[in-house]
Amino acid sequence: MSAEFKHITVLLNEAVDTLVDDPDGFYIDGTFGRGGHSALVLSRLSAQGQLMGIDKDPEAIACAAERFGDDPRFSIERGSFAQLEAFVRQRELAGKVDGVLLDLGVSSPQLDDPNRGFSFMADGPLDMRMNPDVGESVAEWLAHAAEKEIADVLYTYGEERHSRRMARAIVNEREQEPIVTTGRLAKIITEANPAWEKGKNPATRAFQGIRIFINRELEDLEDCLDQALEVLKPGGRLVVISFHSLEDRIVKRFIRKYVKGDEHLPPGIPVTDDMLNIRLKAVGKAVKAGREEVSDNPRSRSAVMRVAKKVR
């Protein structure tokens, strides 16, 4: 990996410490990225332990081959973590997985490389796909999306209060000339934003919302969480690091749902845990990056890690 696009892994020790409790186990890094978490997991595994990585990004796949291609304990699958169960079943390991790790969001190399089209800080082609071989780029989507659809994406996924003004500006500007670069889109959004937040680029929320939509990040997360529960063995751990309130809300609700179990039973009836179908136990409280980590890596400031253990 070039120093220019170096990735600093967030909550590295905290995540791996709680994930790996059996050096002979089978673990999944559902968001391989540039292999920071995977490297530490492998250092904790015995010769019998196994780690499967998953990533959409062809550059992440190339990084995996370069870093761990000679390690027989490691394998990598190109695709979404929403395909987790299929990858596990190919190995005939459903219900036998010791731990699943998800480090959500976009990696630093993706953000920092203007050619990937994620960043409003440097001009580049307007793409934002984590897997550039699948689906529409942002430029392609903006060329045909209705004004209401654009506004809904900015509001729902970016939590942008001025979504309608921004969508109207985008539609007006594309009639003059196609919007094909990050710099032009950032300029349009910035000029349409009437209330800049202190310390935050005016295009931040809009770019974030569009990226989440284009990559189906929330839908894939919901699918993956359900599948992780099925592939984990009893006692297996689910570790999720979120960087966005919408992601963290999904994870929090998922864990709470299966910690509580079935809630349809009439009140006052004595029930056992088996009758409630409790499937998860929360492990500790939500963990955030400490001051030192935030100082070294400002992108870690919004990170929230939640952990759950499968009961049955």
Look up tokens 């003004």; give the residue: 165
207 labelled binding-site residue: no
Q: Is the pLDDT of residue 6 over 60?
A: no
Report pLDDT for 264: 63
Q: Is the pLDDT of residue 87 over 90?
A: yes
Calpha distance 289→296 (Å, rounded): 11
110 labelled binding-site residue: yes
Domain boundaries, the chain: 12-109+217-310, 119-215
87 labelled binding-site residue: no
What is the β-pairing status of strands 232-242 and 97-103? parallel
- In this prediction, residue 242 has a pLDDT band, given cuts at 50, 70 and 90, of very high
Report, as an integer, the average pLDDT of 18-47: 97
208 labelled binding-site residue: no
- What pLDDT digit, counting tens, does each position of 261-304 carry? 876 666 666 666 566 789 999 999 999 999 999 888 888 889 99
38 against 199, higher pLDDT: 38
- What pLDDT digit, counting tens, does each position of 128-139 carry? 999 999 999 999
Query: Which of 16, 80, 72 shows the shortest CA–CA distance to 287?
Result: 16
9 against 109, higher pLDDT: 9
What is each CA distance from 264 to 164, 171, 257, 259, 269, in whole angstroms?
A: 40, 47, 12, 14, 11
Calpha distance 162→158 (Å, rounded): 10
40 against 113, higher pLDDT: 40
Calpha distance 134→231 (Å, rounded): 26
Calpha distance 129→136 (Å, rounded): 8
Cα torsion 88, 91, 93, 98 to 10°: value is -70
Report pLDDT for 122: 84
Question: Burial, 43: exposed, middle or buried (Cβ in 10 Å; 0-12, 13-18, 19+)?
Answer: exposed
8 A C-beta contact, residue 120 and residue 204: yes
Report, as an integer, the average pLDDT of 216-245: 97
Matching fold, domains 12-109+217-310 and 119-215: no
- What pLDDT digit, counting tens, does each position of 145-160 carry? 999 999 999 999 999 9
99 labelled binding-site residue: no
35 labelled binding-site residue: yes
Identify the CATH homologous superfamily for domain 12-109+217-310.
Answer: Vaccinia Virus protein VP39 (3.40.50.150)
Q: Which fold has domain 119-215?
A: DNA polymerase; domain 1 (1.10.150)
36 labelled binding-site residue: yes
Report, as an integer, the average pLDDT of 241-266: 89
